[in-house]
Homo-oligomer: A and B are copies of this chain.
Amino acid sequence: MTTYKQMLSTITEDAKLTMELVEKDMPKPESDEIVVRVDATPINPSDHGVMFGAADVTASETKDGKLIAPIPEQAMGRMKGRLGQALPVGNEGAGEVVAAGDSDYAQSLIGKTVAVMGGGMYTQYRCVKAAMALPLNPGNTAKQGASSFVNPLTALSMVETMRMEGHSALVHTAAASNLGQMLNRICKADGVDVVNIVRRDEQAKLLKDMGAKYVVNSSTDSFMTDLTDAVDETGATLAFDATGGGTLASDILTAMEMAAARTPGTYSIYGSTHHKQVYLYGSLDMSVTTLTRGYGMAWGVGGWLLPNFLAKAGKEAGARLRKRVADELTTTFASHYNHEISLEEALKPETAKAYNAKKTGEKYLILPQK
């Protein structure tokens, strides 16, 4: 094997996205590097940004095996920073170490299955620093380890954020996702209450069946009452919202304020004084975020990004979280996929439209060796 295929995404001046597979020469690892044969790599919502940028995927088409999609004119300004650059895509994945530099540690990994969060993982081979790899525990497969970073570390970091910022329970939206299920398992083990917000009855059932105590359905008429009750019971003053757009973040703050107002005390025009926070960590709903501000003055809404959090939390915390992922990979951090596709299939318009819809329960795993 002297060459391999890698997926690249390019946006050009003519408002066009091109996603394609290119042929690359097999890399020669430096002393402290390893070459991983990527056997499995998931498509996470957090991958879509680099893959598609502001492209209208619903209008995508195929040409010579490439995926082509238009960029709406008004969004081109935001794309300026990446114009003309062929960007590698795919945040994380797992596979076998097939070559290594001459350092002892790199050599010790040969033949082992490792997980990597290195970017550019939608590829058949990836050369990375040996120190970046997370060796899976014996017996665990690449498919099991493909999602060892983004979802597990995000779920763990939500609970870390809760503790660091002085909250004692949390609210999570799009809660039936792989990430949401992990969060419930973590919270159960750690004795932390989590209020799960879902949009469909079967999602509520899935979470209830796995033992979730607080599940509310945002599609029901009683949503705000149910949410306020759950927030009141748990004392949650922190929320992580995967949807980003619309009124959900504002609704959560409203429920927190209504719950706070149930505590007897004198009236205050400025609302409750305990800080109420919603972090938007995703953008499943691409529309604008609307805040009614009917929740006093002690509140915040903001972006939340795993790498930014890990940088703030420090190396020790990062190492502790990674170890927990490796130790509980097939239990707490088990991921479920219902589509396994090749690199070529990932470029088909019909497939791209399907995974770009980001439906909870529809999870795609790329098998680059397929």
Contacts and interface: CB of A to CB of B under 8 A. Distances in A.
Interface of A: 49-50, 53, 78, 80-82, 85, 87, 244-245, 250, 261, 267-270, 273, 277, 280-281, 283, 288-294, 296-305, 307-308, 311
B308 A304 contact: no
A339 to B, nearest CB: 24
A305 B294 contact: no
Given A303-B300, A305-B298, A293 B280 contact: yes
B292 A288 contact: yes
Contacts of A291: 288-291, 301
A245 to B, nearest CB: 7
B303 A302 contact: no
A293 B288 contact: yes
Nearest to A312: B275
A301 B298 contact: no
Given A85-B267, A299-B303, A308-B298, A290 B290 contact: yes
A368 to B, nearest CB: 22
Given A49-B269, A288-B292, A296-B303, 11 more contacts: A80-B261, A82-B269, A85-B267, A277-B302, A283-B293, A288-B293, A290-B291, A297-B304, A298-B305, A299-B302, A300-B301
Contacts of A294: 78
Contacts of A261: 80-81
A292 to B, nearest CB: 5
Contact of A303 (B80, B281, B298): B298
B78 A308 contact: no
Contacts of A299: 302-303
A309 B269 CA distance: 16
A305 B299 CA distance: 10
A293 B294 CA distance: 21
Contacts of A49: 269-270
A7 to B, nearest CB: 15
A277 B300 CA distance: 10
Nearest to A51: B269
